[in-house]
Structure formats: C-alpha cells, structure tokens
Structure 1
Amino acid sequence: MSFQAYLDAVETKTGLTPRQIVDAAAEQGFGPDSKTMAVVGWLKETYGIGHGHAQAMAHVIVKGDRISSKHVGTDGTHRDASDRLWLDGKDARPADG
C-alpha cells in the first residue's frame, strides 16, 4: 500500500480529508514538535483508525506532506506517484497525482 493510499483510507474511514485532520491536530496542540506516538494515540482514540493508518497520518502532522523519494517511480506495492502527499481529499486530487 502506498503512503498516499493510507491517507486515502483514513479519509474513507473518518469522512475527513487529511488536511482537516492536520488542522484538528493543530487545534489539539500537535505539530512539528510533537512526539509521534502521542499523535498516534490521539488519532487512534479520536478517529478509531488502526495503528498503521495513524502512523501515516502522524507522519504528516509531525513532518509535513513530504515523504522519502525511495518508492517514487518504482513498481513495488509501496510506490507513490510523488514525494509530496495530497492532503485535500482523494476526490479532489489531480489526475496525474
């Protein structure tokens, strides 16, 4: 599963775009200076998402929308189209991203 697919699955489960969750996290005081596992715990408790999905969202909350280019352009199961994640909703994502 690609990193973006994790975020899309979180959106499907919660009904909120990743950006809306990032904003909600900021309202709770979570951001770049937060401990990842504290964010993971909050996400799991607040939104009822699983650990892996919470980890993916926590990465975005703590580190932003950039990911390693390690899997970009590969043909493995963890491939992503870009090193920048789309946070504004899967239905609004441009066709090339």
Structure 2
Amino acid sequence: MSFQAYLDNIQAKTGKTADDFAALATRKGFVADGDLAPGVKAGQIVDWLKTDFDLGHGHAMALVASFKGKRD
C-alpha cells in the first residue's frame, strides 16, 4: 500500500485529513514546528491514535511519518 493510500484510508475512516491530525497533535503537544516535539516518542502518538480514533498501527505510523514531514 502506498503512503498516500494510507492517508486516504485514514480520511475515509475518520473524516480527518493528515493536516487535521497534525493540528490535533499540535494542540496535544505532540508536534511543534513541523516535527515531533522534543521528548515525544512515536509510540505515544500511536497509542493516542489507536485509542481515540481506532486506527491500526500502520495507519498511525503513517500519520507519525506525515508529522515528521513525509509527503509521499
């Protein structure tokens, strides 16, 4: 599955784009200045996405990658 397909599936499931999730992650303190905030581990974000949005591990990791600047 391509990176974009992961993001498309996330949007279909949740109604939220990667940018929407980046804004939510910023408000939670997970993201700052276009990257993970200091001291934040990917696992923390994955746990949040699994718990609050019922995403699987691969989809959550795709969002983490997008938070780090991956675009394709």
**Bin of the TM-score, shorter chain as denominator length:** 0.7 to 0.9
Normalized per residue, the structure richer in strand is 2
Unaligned 5+ runs, structure 1: 67-83, 86-97
Q: What is the TM-score with the length of structure 1 in the denominator? A: 0.63
Q: Does 1:13 align with 2:13?
A: yes
The alpha carbon displacement at 1:59 in A equals 1.5
Bigger Rg, structure 1 or 2:
1
Name segments (4+ residues, structure 1) moved above 2 Å.
none
When the two structures are superposed, what TM-score results if normalisation uses the length of structure 2? 0.83
The structure richer in helix per residue is: 2
**CA offset at residue 17 of structure 1?**
1.0
Work out which of the residue numbers 31, 36, 40 in structure 1 matches 2:42: 36
Contact 1:44 1:51 in 2 (8 A): yes
CA distance in 2, matches of 1:59, 1:46: 18
Identity over aligned pairs, percent: 44
Q: Give the total of aligned pairs.
A: 66
Q: 1:18-58: CA deviations, max 9, x gaps?
A: 10011001100111232111111111111111111011111
CA-based RMSD of the aligned residues comes to 1.1
**Partner Cα separation in structure 2 for residue 57 and residue 46 of structure 1:** 14
Aligned residues of 1:36 and 1:59 also touching (Cα < 8 A): no
